[in-house]
Homo-oligomer: A and B are copies of this chain.
Amino acid sequence: MQKHLLTTKSLSKEEIDLILQTAENFEPYARKEKRGDQLKGKVLGALFYEPSTRTRLSFETAMIRLGGDVVSVADIGTTSMGVKGETVADTAKVISNFVDIVAIRHPEVGSAEEFANNASVPVINAGDGTNQHPSQALLDLFTIKKELGKIDGLTVGFSGDLKFGRTANSLAYLLANYDVKLKFIAPKALPMKQKVKDDLNEKGVNFEETEDFNAGLSGLDVLYVSRVQKDRFTDMNEYEKLKDVYVLDRKLVEEKSPDMLILHALPRVNEIAKDVDDLKGAAYFRQVQNGVTMRMALLSMLCNL
């Protein structure tokens, strides 16, 4: 196991499988059926340089329910690190004196790696700009395996903003280790990053691209939905054309792939209609509990290196 968790790109299939397997053991703790003390005496530093509630509370809950403690910075924008202009490297050296492990979210690509390079404790990248969010991708993969019983052989679609979203990136790199077919369904303005596609090609991953949301939904085992945000577009005509197209509703699901598993990193705004929530495949709220499970596994594995 690596010292830090900064990207899904560098994880081997063996490491991924070990993480998925380890996570299974933590399910009773995440379901609040058991309380553990595996992390007793350990302190997590939850450093969120960007607003986030879901991810921060998920990490904090995971830590606490295994007997650990937490110190948090919920919005570093207003703290000394933001205001007074300290470098990420200095912050890493300072924080290493306080905590046993760090989960960091930061708006700049590469910031988590820079932090890790200067820290003396394990670091989990909880989102660095448009780059990576590995713990989210691992919980997504864990959800797929738990819901469908397998990963090999699946056709996985990714819809919405694949250019700026970091979770689709991170999950694509994980899936590249399995025998899967990927389908990127994105507006012309927001395609999957070229770098990711080059890497997938190099690994020989079978993937296709389409801008046609409705057509793209056919034949999917899994659909991973991302939001399409207005402020990502430079051409407002393009946005106006698309804004109501990339909305998944119950009718569409039932027409195209009625049994598909539907995932979303949340928060959901209107890209999934409320009438989808009751479908058997709508797993986005169950995903949240898997998030606690996965973070329990990751915190434990990295703390007990």
Taking a contact as CB atoms under 8 Å apart, the answer to whether B53 and A79 are in contact is yes
**Residues on the B chain within 8 Å of A83, using CB:** 51
Q: Which of B30, B45, B74 contacts A74 (CB 8 A)?
A: B74
- List residues 189-245 of chain A with CB under 8 A from any CB of chain B: none
Q: Interface stretch among A12-20, A130-138, A146-154, A263-271?
A: A263-271
- List residues 28-75 of chain A with CB under 8 A from any CB of chain B: 30, 32, 35, 40-41, 43, 45, 51-54, 57-58, 60-61, 64-65, 69-71, 73-75
Q: Interface stretch among A85-93, A160-168, A176-184, A248-256?
A: A85-93
**Residues on the B chain within 8 Å of A81, using CB:** 53, 267
* A292 is an interface residue with CB less than 8 A from chain B: yes
* A100 is an interface residue with CB less than 8 A from chain B: yes
* Given contacts A53-B76, A266-B86, A98 and B45 within 8 Å (CB-CB): no
How many chain A residues touch B (CB < 8 A): the figure is: 51
Shortest Cβ distance from A286 into chain B, in angstroms? 9
Query: In the complex, what distance in Å separates the CA atom of A269 from the CA atom of B83?
Result: 11
Shortest Cβ distance from A267 into chain B, in angstroms? 4
* Given contacts A61-B43, A64-B43, A85-B269, A80 and B53 within 8 Å (CB-CB): yes
Query: Which residue of the partner chain B has the closest CB to A268?
Result: B90
A positions within 8 Å CB-CB of B = 30, 32, 35, 40-41, 43, 45, 51-54, 57-58, 60-61, 64-65, 69-71, 73-76, 78-86, 90-91, 93-95, 97-100, 266-269, 285, 288-289, 291-292
